[in-house]
Amino acid sequence: MKINKLFLAVLFSVVVFNLNILDTVLADFTVIKPGAVLVNKSMELSGQLRLDLSAKVEEALDKGIPLAIEVEYRLFRIRKFIWDAQIADWSFTHSIQYHALSRQYLVRGHGLDASSVESFTTLQEALIFMGTLDGLVLPLPEQLAETIDPKNNHGYRAQVRARLVIESLPAPLRPVAYTSSDWRLNTGWVSWKIAD
């Protein structure tokens, strides 16, 4: 009888531990089918950022704590014999907040318009909107725009990274966020060659 109870206790612990790991593994940011073309003195992006929140992050959001997500883009000129040269970069911070009175998720600063505000009835809709890269046009710096030939894109590659900005959280929550894997949501740098 004691062995059965011990076995059940160990089995239960293993299952709970694995569920916690699974929750942490499933909650992360990923980049799906990234793409870019150089046209009209700009880089036009395509693809989707999948912004999966952990249960702890989602709980904080539902309690009214705003989350900031920084999305960074880089453009490189490919070189044969030494590392690629970074020739342009862009960075945008988007925020999402749950408004309890209206039961809406508010997304601020999507794309290039930092002042835009969109509202959504579900968290999933808001996260899909925040992660949409399709049609996002990033202007090239003036001196660079003059040197790029849009008909010859094969010498360039792009990178994107999205991350939850822990520094934007309220001060009492930051120590927990820095030490917990539930809060380390990041795509890492994802790189792809720009198509012709």
Number of domains observed in the structure of the chain: 1
pLDDT at res. 133: 92
pLDDT at res. 110: 73
pLDDT at res. 181: 93
**Does residue 149 fall inside a structural domain?**
yes
Range of the domain at 81: 29-193
pTM check: above 0.75: yes
Q: What is the CA radius of gyration of the chain?
A: 21
**Does residue 6 fall inside a structural domain?**
no
pLDDT at res. 154: 66
pLDDT at res. 16: 39
**Does residue 16 fall inside a structural domain?**
no
pLDDT at res. 150: 60
**Does residue 177 fall inside a structural domain?**
yes
**Does residue 107 fall inside a structural domain?**
yes
Per-residue pLDDT of the chain (196 residues), as tens digits, is 555 554 444 444 444 344 334 333 445 899 999 999 888 888 999 999 999 999 999 999 999 999 999 999 999 988 888 899 899 999 999 999 999 999 999 999 876 677 889 999 999 999 999 999 998 999 988 877 677 766 665 688 999 999 999 999 999 999 999 999 999 999 999 999 987 5
**Does residue 61 fall inside a structural domain?**
yes
**Does residue 15 fall inside a structural domain?**
no
